[in-house]
Amino acid sequence: MNKNPNKNIDNSDIKIGLQAIAFKEFLDNRHTVIISDENLFRLYPEVFEDFDKIILPSGEDTKSLKTIEFIISEFVKLNLDRNSFIIGFGGGVICDITGFVASIFMRGLSFGFVPSTLLAQIDAAIGGKNGVNFGNHKNYIGCFNNPEFVICDPILLNTLSDQEYKSGLGEVLKYALITNKNELFTYLNKNTELILNKNQKILNFIIKKCVQIKSDIVAKDPFDKGFRQILNFGHSFAHCVEKIENIPHGIAVVYGMKIALKIAFNEGFLNSECQNEILSFFAKFGFDKEIILRDEHFEILKGDKKKNSDSIKLVIIRDIGKPDFYELPIDDIKDLLK
Ligand SMILES: NC(=O)c1ccc[n+]([C@@H]2O[C@H](COP(=O)([O-])OP(=O)(O)OC[C@H]3O[C@@H](n4cnc5c(N)ncnc54)[C@H](O)[C@@H]3O)[C@@H](O)[C@H]2O)c1
């Protein structure tokens, strides 16, 4: 259960100083350890004052079992017990690691998230999925478990690089396409310039909306057995593109959505008018390129955990707000994209 996932999202809530520190009010004198990365530690030293901390290298490579082992050895040195509390302060990598290690240490400690990237605020910190990678296999080891709280402070996004901000926007655009056009798509189209300039009021609205969209979907299918998989729109292709091109997750998701759109169009599920409307929408946010999948992408695609034998269950859309599933053999995907 998220105690208060929307906390600090309204402009009226923003007071002097960093709202991320508001987590202190939830700690109840528990022995608390903050897990974070080197960038956050450098940029926001005030968040760490008075706390034990574990500072990890930033980046996807940190999401490994080796890191989990390292954190557990630090937990032991810090004498944590079952009443201790763990905070993950960082992007999706830190949230995924924190949720996982807190869930398995001593059969589970309580934890909270202070996500610091747009992607983590609207996606990674919401929905209860935690875990690490296993070699090339993304998110192969993990668990479902929810934090006690999630605090999203849009002010943190001011220090985010353009590339990482764009990555978060990629996931925002995904929500806009899998939900009713009036929910988000129209709003994003109308406010593009303000969004690109990180306008706080607009970001407040967007974060709140995306948290609500994801929470509603997850509530219908908390353990990812069916319906929730519409959130994977673009993701089967994103994972291989992210790995081979070495680009942030959300940017790869947009490339993945473009490939899924092409398949939907070539298979007659999506008309050209809607496809063009979506492609112009992407372009407005700077996503104007596409990627042609190569053999090396297909090799990783074959290892995708969403595949069923030699087929893959793709999320396609038939129109804005009308996601659907389409299972097809991986070899056919090659032909369809020629
Ligand atoms: N659990 C889930 O449901 C879920 C959903 C989506 C994505 N994810 C995972 O999230 C990860 C990607 O997360 P991400 O995009 O946040 O990347 P990330 O966690 O790697 O962060 C990106 C970079 O931004 C830096 N950074 C973070 N906050 C900052 C700030 N406020 N100012 C300046 N720099 C900052 C980090 O140090 C890092 O270098 C992937 O591993 C993905 O699998 C998980």
Residue 143 pairs in a beta bridge with 130
Measured in angstroms, how far is the CA atom of residue 29 from the centroid of ligand 1? 29
Q: Do residue 165 and residue 125 come from a single domain? A: no
Residue 117 sits in a domain whose CATH number is 3.40.50.1970
Alpha-carbon gap, residue 229 to 171, rounded angstroms: 14
Give the per-residue pLDDT at 18.
Answer: 64
Q: Do residue 118 and residue 177 come from a single domain? A: no
Q: Do residue 110 and residue 165 come from a single domain? A: no
Q: Do residue 142 and residue 176 come from a single domain? A: no
Give the per-residue pLDDT at 9.
Answer: 33
Q: Tell me the residue ranges of DSSP E strands in the chain.
A: 32-37, 52-56, 85-90, 110-115, 129-134, 137-144, 307-308, 311-319, 322-329
Give the per-residue pLDDT at 284.
Answer: 97
Measured in angstroms, how far is the CA atom of residue 89 from the centroid of ligand 1? 10
Residue 208 sits in a domain whose CATH number is 1.20.1090.10
Do residues 170 and 36 make contact, with C-beta atoms less than 8 angstroms apart? Answer: no
Q: Which of 118, 142, 157 is the last residue of a domain?
A: 157
Measured in angstroms, how far is the CA atom of residue 193 from the centroid of ligand 1? 24
Alpha-carbon gap, residue 118 to 111, rounded angstroms: 20
Give the per-residue pLDDT at 14.
Answer: 31
Q: How many CB atoms lie within 10 A of CB 260?
A: 25
Q: Do residue 94 and residue 113 come from a single domain? A: yes
Q: Which of 157, 173, 206 is the last residue of a domain?
A: 157
Q: How many structural domains comprise the chain?
A: 2
Query: Is the minimum distance from the CB of 58 to ligand 1 under 6 angstroms?
Result: yes
Report the half-sphere exposure of 319 (CA within 13 A, side-chain side). 3
Measured in angstroms, how far is the CA atom of residue 93 from the centroid of ligand 1? 5
**From first to last of its 338 residues, what are the pLDDT tens digits of the chain?**
344 443 333 333 333 346 767 888 889 999 999 999 999 999 999 999 989 999 999 999 999 999 999 999 999 999 999 999 999 999 999 999 999 999 999 999 999 999 999 999 999 999 999 999 998 788 999 999 999 999 999 999 999 999 999 999 999 999 999 999 988 999 999 999 999 999 999 999 999 999 999 999 999 999 999 999 999 999 989 988 988 999 999 999 999 999 999 999 999 999 999 999 999 999 999 999 989 999 999 888 887 655 556 788 999 999 999 999 999 988 888 887 87
In the chain, DSSP finds a helix count (H) and a strand count (E) of 14, 9
Q: Do residue 143 and residue 203 come from a single domain? A: no
Task: Please tell me whether residue 337 adopts helix, strand or coil conformation.
Answer: coil
Judge whether 111 lies within some domain.
Answer: yes
Q: Do residue 56 and residue 153 come from a single domain? A: yes
Report the half-sphere exposure of 123 (CA within 13 A, side-chain side). 22
Query: Is the minimum distance from the CB of 121 to ligand 1 under 6 angstroms?
Result: no
Give the per-residue pLDDT at 307.
Answer: 54
pTM of this structure = 0.92
Judge whether 1 lies within some domain.
Answer: no
Q: Provide the residue type at 246 as one letter.
A: N
Q: Do residue 143 and residue 223 come from a single domain? A: no
Alpha-carbon gap, residue 335 to 338, rounded angstroms: 5
Query: Is the minimum distance from the CB of 22 to ligand 1 under 6 angstroms?
Result: no
Q: Do residue 167 and residue 235 come from a single domain? A: yes
Domain housing 148:
11-157
Give the per-residue pLDDT at 207.
Answer: 96
Q: Do residue 142 and residue 37 come from a single domain? A: yes
Alpha-carbon gap, residue 82 to 294, rounded angstroms: 48
Give the per-residue pLDDT at 20.
Answer: 66
Do residues 132 and 65 make contact, with C-beta atoms less than 8 angstroms apart? Answer: yes
